[in-house]
């Protein structure tokens, strides 16, 4: 197993507000890490497929986020745009262990290519 | 010369009689009214929704001041009549006003019955009869203490539910074994007791009050069995007695009430009486329907049409407690000559009972499902033989003739004279006639033209079906736009229910109002956050996660994810110190664009999010605070230089603009609010396209509002003239507070004004000084919690997580 298969700890659950998001900066660009009302965590590339808006700044509702620029709504689970809008943002696997959040390291690299 | 008609009392019965009289014989009388209460005629039946917070006094006014003026009626408010001089045909009030009469109407109503127990006069023991009683109870309820209601009848239970909604710990003490025994049979009374208990009201039946405890102030109620219930408020609601003292003293015939014949005449041919104060054929009345019948008879009498007479009919009763459906009418006692049909569905909480004599309905009690009430009641009044439908009668009108019919078929089948609205005595043909004849298309239209469904609202469903029946597809019943896909409720319903149910957080609201999503969406959450904040200032904790990013981080997001920063410049004034500080900030943080805005501010564009707190710290240090350029809030007050510099200026427009802005900054509003003050009618501050604009003139200040210069372009409307800057400020503040309380989220002032009507706004913030003051006071109170600079808070560390990444990884680090 190479190092890039590892999960990298990015922080703790309570660092993200419920129904909110934080950014993780990577060399390839920011990744938005979301926490839902029910304490599920999801990560999407922080770039709306429409005009590049920062999804981490949007309103989180259920397992969805609404982009702050033009109100596109994305599923946090799949990164698919909802409703009439068509588009997708890459989602990044996360693991939550005892309140610690781990991000799939290779995802950061893939994003960097 | 016109005859002079004097009316003693200004309740619902004489109010209705006057309406009818003015319809049929508008010019016959000079009319004078003495009202012991210091106000106009209001809908006493609706006091319970006022107590529970679902309505306000304004909502239940039947005749506003303008009505009396338009009809040339003299109304003496707060003017109790103490003596009738029948020899000289004059009445005399306690404050010295006397009037001569040709005809006199006594409508003194009733007085609450006070049970003669020790302690009945203690402070904190109140009755439930008029608006003053409601106000007393609402003030007492603010302390959220314990209330005991003595009396488990209609009024007592409505008081109990209302005080419970207001957050009090409520116990009902009722002397009979079941509640509302005069309107309900024991089975329905029991179900009602269960429903009351389920909402947190304790119910004690077969409970006899021995005394009210306390030293000066009430502290509790002791029952005959020795039980002591602690109480901070005791409401006596055991019944009413006709108020006949005045008539008795004048030597008119009285018994239990003032004795009148079926034409409402007393023993003096010049004097009539009607309402709860009278006794007709040995009977007294307390429900509104027969009182309105009396009003019709009296109006006909006064108009010279003497053939109509009053005949008491069985009356239907409803309890006006949101969420409890019960309906009863007629006689439902048991007896050998009677049969009954009963349907019970315990799981659904439904109980229906129809009492028959000789196959005709003489009484009905419905609990849980009351839609067929008017149908049963109509058959009762018309003496319909029910033999043919005996097997299916109890299932209701939809089941007559086999399969369930479409919903409008049921109302279509009702005869023209069937009563739809019990509160206001409106029959089916009057409603359908008005819909067709006057081209009405909405529920509000029908309410305005016929009064049907305008009081307790329990016939709303029937009225809607009549609209559908009469208009067909042209009627769009879902005219109420839901807030969003998470609910079927419209904005106004949600705002009303926040007050009525005392909802204090978003999760609680979504639970109680049955939101369809787990935590709302980007449309409803910001709206709910605003409504809660506006409703419970100082109490509700702002939910940042329900705010749009701009309001969450107090800057405006730009297309590239950077932010713009606009400091406040009061009234558009700035100084060399401020400008120097701005210049330094721009250099220090390499801010790419600096621009002057349309609202006389300076905008720094392209600030990185993580720099925001440091930028604000430098601006704060130079004395600048957030300009709220990002908020649904007071944005800017634009001014011209006014009398300070301008050769045309009539007043100090800059000074007034600064004063308004310093007074109102920090307040959240349904949508952004932009203002301007111009020093003369040349209007250099462009005040007449603002949400609120003031034009200074020699004699003072013309206050304009409801302008727009964005998606829509619209000149302002003139609200009023103010003589002083103090008055102008008070009016502007009251106007904005009214908007804060009524506006739908994202609805600008001009759209709100169009929706509610400019006259209704004027009535509240211009014509009625007391009301204006109360809006002003509420705004001032809410400002105590709003005037905190959000930049300063964040410089000091609030929401630090917003401005820093959670983690940073370079490729080398991740690839190691």
Binning pLDDT at 50, 70 and 90, where does residue B523 land?
Answer: very high
| pLDDT value for B60 | 87
A19–B807 C-beta distance less than 8 A: no
* Option in A8, A19, A54 nearest B561 (CB): A54
Instruction: Quickly state the pLDDT bin for A112 (edges 50, 70, 90).
Output: very low
DSSP code for B609: G
Residue B816: closest C-alpha in chain A: A3
Residue B406: the pLDDT is 62
3-class DSSP string for B255-319: CCCEEECCCCECCCCCEEECCCCEEECCECCCCHHHHHHHHHHHHHHHCCCCCCCCCCCCCEEEC
ipTM computed for the complex:
0.90
Tokens 């077969």, located at residue: B206
CA B699, CA B721: separation in Å to the nearest integer?
9
pLDDT in tens, B502-512: 899 999 999 88
Yes or no, beta carbons of A8 and B814 under 8 Å apart: yes
Provide φ and ψ at A47, rounded to 5°. -150, 110
**The pLDDT of residue B810:** 67
| Cα of A19 to nearest chain B Cα, Å | 6
Query: Residues A77-94: what's their mean pLDDT?
Result: 91
Q: Do B557 and A57 touch (CB under 8 A)?
A: yes
Q: Is the pLDDT of residue B812 over 60?
A: no
Residues A5-23, mean pLDDT to the nearest whole number:
91
The answer to whether A110 contacts chain B (CB < 8 Å) is: no
CB contact, 8 Å: B88 with chain A? no
pLDDT at res. B211:
94
What span, in angstroms and rounded, lies between the C-alpha atoms of A99 and A97? 5
Using one digit for the tens of pLDDT, what is the confidence trace for B194-204? 889 888 899 99
> In this predicted model, what pLDDT tens digit does every residue of B278-319 receive, in sequence order?
999 888 888 888 898 999 999 999 998 888 899 887 777 777
Q: What is the mean pLDDT of residues B759-765?
A: 94
The answer to whether the pTM exceeds 0.95 is: no
pLDDT digits (tens, 9 = 90+) for B464-484: 888 888 888 777 765 667 888
Nearest C-alpha in B relative to A66:
B522
Task: Find out whether B579 and B587 touch, Cβ atoms under 8 Å.
Answer: no
- Give A3's contacts in chain B (Cβ within 8 Å): 815-816
How high is the pLDDT of residue B401? 59
Q: Is B525 on the interface with A (CB under 8 A)?
A: yes
Pick from B207-216, B274-283, B438-447: least confident: B438-447
Predicted pLDDT of residue B815: 39
pLDDT at B404 over 70: no
Set of chain B residues whose Cβ sits within 8 Å of the Cβ of A8: 809, 814
Which one is predicted more confidently, B586 or B377?
B586
Tens digits of per-residue pLDDT, A19-44? Answer: 999 999 987 789 999 999 989 999 99
* Number of neighbours of residue B176 by Cβ within 10 angstroms: 16
Q: Between these two residues, B814 and B257, which has the higher pLDDT value?
A: B257
Higher pLDDT, B720 or B338: B720
Q: What is the pLDDT of residues B707-751, one digit of tens each?
A: 999 888 999 999 999 999 999 999 999 999 999 999 999 999 999
Write down the pLDDT at residue B427. Answer: 86
Q: Give the rounded percent of residues in chain B with a pLDDT score beyond 90.
A: 57
Q: Report chain B's mean pLDDT, rounded to a whole number.
A: 90
CA proximity to B487, closest of B522, B516, B510, B526: B516
CA distances from B17 to B132, B281, B302, B303 (A): 24, 21, 9, 11
CA distance B801 to A13: 12
Which of A68-72, B583-587, B661-665 bottoms out in mean pLDDT, i.e. has the lowest?
Answer: A68-72
Q: Find the helix or strand (DSSP H, E) in which B222 lies.
A: strand B217-223
Quote the pLDDT of residue B557.
95
Distance from CA of A32 to the nearest CA of B (A): 10
pLDDT bucket at B816, cuts 50 / 70 / 90: very low
Banded pLDDT at B11 (limits 50, 70, 90) = very high
Contact between B673 and B737 (Cβ < 8 Å)? no
Q: Is B526 on the interface with A (CB under 8 A)?
A: yes
Express each pLDDT in B380-394 by its tens digit: 888 888 888 888 888
Q: Is the pLDDT of residue A113 over 50?
A: no
Chain B CB contacts of A25 under 8 Å are: 805, 807-809
Q: Across the strands, what pairs with B34? A: B8, B76
Confidence (pLDDT) at A108: 64
Report the pLDDT value the prediction gives residue B813, as an integer from 0 to 100. Answer: 43
pLDDT band at B518 (very low <50, low <70, confident <90, very high): confident
Among B313, B333, B266, which residue's Cα sits nearest to residue B107? B266
A vs B: CB pairs below 8 A: 104
Among B307-321, B563-577, B764-778, the range scoring the smallest mean pLDDT is B307-321
A10 close to B (CB below 8 A):
yes
Q: Once rounded to an integer, what is the mean pLDDT over residues B546-569?
A: 96
| pLDDT of amino acid A111 | 46
Mean pLDDT, rounded, for B632-651 = 95
| Among the ranges given (A82-86, B266-270, B631-635), the one the predictor scored with the smallest mean pLDDT | A82-86
Measured in degrees and rounded to the nearest 5, phi and psi for residue B276 equal -70, -10
B208-222, B328-342, B558-572: least confidently modelled range: B328-342
């Amino acid at each position: 197993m190479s190092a890039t298969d590892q999960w990298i700890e990015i922080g703790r659950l309570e660092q993200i507000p419920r129904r909110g998001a934080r950014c993780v900066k990577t060399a390839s660009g920011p990744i938005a890490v979301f926490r839902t009302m029910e304490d599920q965590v999801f990560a999407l590339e922080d770039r709306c497929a429409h005009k590049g808006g920062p999804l981490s700044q949007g309103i989180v509702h259920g397992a969805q986020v609404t982009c702050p620029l033009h109100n596109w709504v994305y599923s946090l689970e799949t990164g698919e745009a909802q409703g009439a809008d068509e588009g997708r943002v890459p989602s990044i696997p996360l693991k939550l262990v005892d309140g610690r959040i781990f991000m799939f390291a290779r995802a950061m690299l893939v994003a960097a290519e | 010369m016109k005859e002079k008609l004097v009316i003693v009392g200004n309740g619902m019965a004489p109010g209705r009689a006057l309406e009818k009289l003015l319809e049929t014989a508008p010019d016959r009388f000079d009319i004078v009214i003495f009202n012991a209460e210091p106000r106009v005629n209001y809908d006493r039946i609706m006091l319970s929704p006022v107590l529970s917070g679902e309505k306000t006094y304004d909502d239940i006014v039947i005749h506003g001041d303008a009505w009396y003026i338009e009809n040339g009626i003299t109304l003496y408010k707060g003017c109790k009549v103490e003596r009738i001089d029948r020899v000289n045909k004059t009445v005399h009030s306690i404050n010295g006003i006397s009037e001569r009469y040709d005809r006199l109407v006594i409508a003194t109503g009733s007085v609450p019955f006070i049970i003669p127990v020790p302690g009945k006069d203690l402070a904190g023991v109140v009755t439930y009869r008029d608006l003053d009683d409601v106000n007393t109870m609402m003030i007492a309820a603010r302390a959220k203490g314990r209330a005991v209601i003595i009396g488990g009848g209609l009024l007592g239970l409505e008081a109990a539910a209302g005080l419970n909604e207001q957050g009090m710990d409520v116990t009902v003490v009722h002397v009979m074994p079941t509640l509302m025994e005069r309107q309900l049979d024991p089975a329905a009374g029991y179900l009602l007791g269960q429903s009351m208990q389920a909402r947190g009201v304790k119910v004690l039946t077969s409970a006899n009050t021995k005394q009210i405890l306390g030293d000066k102030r009430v502290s509790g109620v002791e029952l005959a069995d020795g039980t002591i219930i602690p109480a901070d408020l005791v409401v006596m609601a055991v019944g009413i007695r006709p108020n006949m003292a005045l008539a008795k003293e004048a030597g008119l015939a009285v018994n239990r009430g003032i004795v009148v014949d079926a034409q409402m005449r007393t023993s003096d041919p010049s004097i009539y009486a009607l309402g709860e104060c009278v006794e007709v054929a040995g009977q007294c009345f307390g429900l509104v329907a027969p009182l309105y019948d009396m009003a019709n008879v009296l109006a006909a009498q006064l108009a010279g049409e003497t053939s109509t007479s009053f005949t008491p009919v069985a009356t239907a009763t409803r309890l006006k407690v949101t969420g409890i459906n019960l309906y009863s009418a007629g006689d439902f006692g048991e007896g050998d000559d009677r049969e009954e049909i009963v349907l019970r569905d315990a799981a659904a909480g439904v109980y229906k009972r129809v009492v028959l004599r000789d196959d005709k309905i003489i009484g009905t009690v419905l609990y849980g499902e009351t839609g067929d009430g008017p149908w049963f009641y109509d058959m009762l009044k018309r003496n319909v033989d029910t033999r043919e439908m005996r097997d299916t009668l109890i299932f209701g009108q939809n089941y007559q003739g086999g399969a369930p019919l479409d919903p409008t078929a049921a109302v279509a089948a009702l005869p023209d004279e069937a009563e739809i609205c019990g509160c206001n005595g409106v029959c089916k043909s009057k409603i359908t006639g008005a819909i067709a004849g006057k081209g009405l298309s909405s529920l509000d239209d029908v309410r305005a033209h016929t009064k049907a469904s305008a009081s307790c609202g329990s016939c709303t469903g029937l009225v809607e079906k009549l609209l559908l029946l009469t208009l067909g597809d042209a009627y769009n019943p879902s005219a109420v736009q839901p807030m969003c896909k998470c609910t079927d409720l419209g904005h106004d319903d949600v705002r009303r229910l926040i007050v009525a149910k005392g909802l204090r957080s978003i999760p609680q609201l979504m639970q109680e109002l049955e939101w369809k999503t787990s935590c709302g969406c980007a449309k409803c959450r910001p709206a709910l956050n605003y409504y809660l904040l506006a409703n419970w200032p100082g109490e509700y904790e702002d939910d940042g996660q329900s705010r749009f990013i701009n309001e969450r981080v107090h800057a405006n997001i730009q297309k590239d994810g950077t932010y713009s920063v606009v400091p406040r410049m009061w009234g558009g004034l700035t100084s060399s110190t401020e400008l120097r500080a701005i210049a330094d900030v721009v250099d220090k943080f390499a801010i790419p664009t600096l621009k002057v805005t349309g609202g006389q501010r300076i905008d720094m564009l392209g600030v990185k999010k993580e720099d925001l707190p440091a930028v604000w710290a430098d601006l704060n240090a130079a004395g600048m605070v957030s300009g709220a350029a990002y908020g649904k809030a007071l944005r800017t007050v634009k001014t011209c230089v006014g009398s300070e510099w301008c050769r045309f200026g009539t007043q100090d427009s800059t000074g007034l603009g600064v004063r308004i802005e310093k007074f109102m900054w920090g307040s959240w509003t349904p949508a952004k609010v932009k203002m301007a003050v111009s020093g003369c009618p040349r209007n250099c501050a462009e005040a007449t396209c603002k949400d609120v604009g003031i034009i200074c003139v020699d004699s003072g200040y013309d206050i304009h509002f409801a302008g727009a210069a964005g998606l829509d372009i619209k000149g302002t409307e003139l609200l009023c003239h103010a003589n002083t800057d103090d008055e102008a400020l008070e009016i502007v503040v009251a106007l904005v507070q009214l908007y804060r309380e009524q506006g739908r989220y994202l609805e600008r002032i001009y759209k709100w004004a169009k929706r509610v009507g400019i006259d209704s706004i004027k009535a509240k913030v211009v014509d009625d000084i007391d009301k204006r003051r109360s809006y002003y006071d509420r705004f001032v109170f809410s400002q105590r919690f709003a005037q905190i600079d959000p930049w300063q808070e964040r410089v000091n560390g609030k929401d630090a997580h917003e401005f820093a990444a959670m983690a940073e990884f370079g490729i080398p680090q991740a690839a190691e």
